[in-house]
Amino acid sequence: MEKAVFLDDALRHNAQTTPDAAAVRMLGRATTYAELDGHVDKIAHALLDRGIGRGDRVVICSIKSVETIASIYAILRVGGTYVPIDPAAPAERALAQLSAASPKMVLTDTVRLPKFSDAVPEVQLLDISEPLPADPRILPIPQRDEQDPAYILMTSGTTGTPKGIVHTHKSGLVYAKMAADLCGLRASDRVSHHTPVHFDMSIFDIFSTAQAGACAVIIPEMHAKLPATLSELTEHEKITVWYSVPHALIQMVERGALDSRDLGGLRVVMFAGEKMPPAALKAFSQYTPNAIFLNAYGPTETNHCTTAKLTHADLDGTSPIPIGHPDTGVTARIGTEAEDAETGELLIAADQVMLEYWNAPNLTDASFCTLPDTHGVTRRFYRTGDIVRRVPDKGLILIGRKDRQIKLRGFRIELDEVELALVNAPTVTEAVAVVVSDEIRAFVTGGTPEDVVDVRSHIQGILPRYAVPHHITWLADMPRTSTGKIDRAKLTGKDDEQHAA
């Protein structure tokens, strides 16, 4: 695949060179590369017949499926830009994102078709769950460029108004190749497609997998929500490379019946999206004797751009998991001063960084700065907003967000440090610290409600008095966004419950 220029090139290549290899599996059924390629052509013809071409934005609103993956490829194949939105989002939010994207067409399924048919009558709709007829016409090759937008991802909205993040064919392809090499993907691999397509991690699931001619194993939504069923599917489908948010691994440790599973086939376990609790990773590692562990860091704007590679010997269950070293082709520096600092905001320059924020030039300009790299060459760096510290032998440690430092009663407090102290308590699995009405409130999972008193005693021995949360609330589960991240916005408005201390 040395000559690949566009994000969708690998599919056509694999359909011609290994047509009978499985490209996608779902619930035990395999779709070969040749079959997927043919399906893509059918949808592509339907798009062309409806006037979709280079530069047109097409929204996809559907759950994970072979049809969804084929639709993504079809949009790219005709020169369009795909804009995935959450199929489970409330109608108002979905329509707001659709309005912001100004698409020429919406690809959806029968269940969600009514959501759009009445609300946006001026936009063309196509039900991708309905079979399309074969089309004998040869699909024309579109005139396009590697800097053309390939996809626009909306942020999860956990910290504010969602933004449209524009990635080009070049930025997406550079990342897909890098990540495939990082994981050593090969044609025999079966890669978990766990995250929904409106989440940036799906770029690895779909496109890195195709770079290696491997097979993406779609994990249906219901399986993803049932830990025991999820672990059973992982074993049954013989998944070799896993990629998800930490929550999926935590759930399998707690309720996945791992004692009765054989996960020896997993050779790479990669996670991203938020901090992985060290104790949970240590516990999960006991069931994956042949795996290496990759902590993949990177905001949607940069794709995953630094990685910590960990072996079983590196996991002690208590030490914070680093975000590691810059990946191939990535330049990372700390701070904007002439000399690279030891602690400060992480800045990223790489071909895999986004092009821009959709229709927001002022925000785009404010998010980048021009600085010399380690060789003195002037580069365009993305400001991640994350504070990191350089640690010998471990690379970078993520301290927290710039916007997570607060000032309360004259004291500066890092909420991420509060969370780290909480999660290191023996019974705590996950922890969140937020500010509500000028008070620090913490929410924890793990153990029992009665353990909250011990958690408070634990952190009082670690944190200064002014940083100890006023309330610590035990929750059976953290509220989640559709991408599996903790929904901090919901917790900020959450009332204290009966198990507070």
Mean pLDDT for the stretch of residues 469-496: 82
For residue 30, what are the contacts with CB-CB under 8 A and spacing of at least 6? 22, 24, 215
Q: Are strands 325-326 and 331-334 parallel, antiparallel or unpaired?
A: unpaired
Residue 260 pLDDT level (bands cut at 50, 70, 90):
very high
Least confident of 14-18, 44-48, 205-209, 421-425: 421-425
Residue 150 pLDDT level (bands cut at 50, 70, 90):
very high
- Checking if the pLDDT of 415 tops 70, the result is yes
Averaged confidence pLDDT in the chain? 91
First-to-last C-alpha distance (Å) of the chain: 58
Ordered structural domains, the chain, with CATH = 409-492 (3.30.300.30)
Residues belonging to the chain: 501
Would you state the pLDDT for residue 499? Answer: 40
Residue 162 pLDDT level (bands cut at 50, 70, 90):
low
Residue 157 pLDDT level (bands cut at 50, 70, 90):
very low
- Checking if the pLDDT of 414 tops 60, the result is yes
Greater model confidence, 134 or 291: 291
- Checking if the pLDDT of 495 tops 70, the result is no
In angstroms, rounded to a whole number, what is the distance separating the alpha carbons of residues 187 and 30? 15
Write out pLDDT tens, residues 301-338.
999 999 999 999 999 998 889 999 999 999 999 998 87
In angstroms, rounded to a whole number, what is the distance separating the alpha carbons of residues 39 and 276? 38
Percent of the chain with pLDDT over 90: 70
Mean pLDDT for the stretch of residues 401-424: 80
* Measured CA angle at 387 (ends 382, 388), to 5 deg: 100
Specify which residues 268 forms β-bridges with.
Answer: 241, 292
Mean pLDDT for the stretch of residues 445-455: 92
**SS3 sequence of 301-341:** CCCCCEEEEECHHHCCCCCCCCCEEECCCCEEEECCCCCCC
- Checking if the pLDDT of 231 tops 70, the result is yes
Write out pLDDT tens, residues 177-223.
999 999 999 999 999 999 999 999 999 999 999 999 999 999 998 89
CB 7 within 8 A of CB 176: yes
In angstroms, rounded to a whole number, what is the distance separating the alpha carbons of residues 368 and 253? 40
- Checking if the pLDDT of 498 tops 70, the result is no
- Checking if the pLDDT of 89 tops 90, the result is no
What token pair was written down for 468? 């100890």
- Checking if the pLDDT of 339 tops 90, the result is no
Percent of the chain with pLDDT over 70: 96
Write out pLDDT tens, residues 364-373.
999 999 998 7
- Checking if the pLDDT of 496 tops 50, the result is no
Across 280-289, b (16+ Cβ under 10 Å) vs e yields: bbbbbbebbe
Would you state the pLDDT for residue 387? Answer: 93
Would you state the pLDDT for residue 1? Answer: 53
Cα–Cα distance list, 366 to 361, 383, 388 (Å): 9, 9, 20
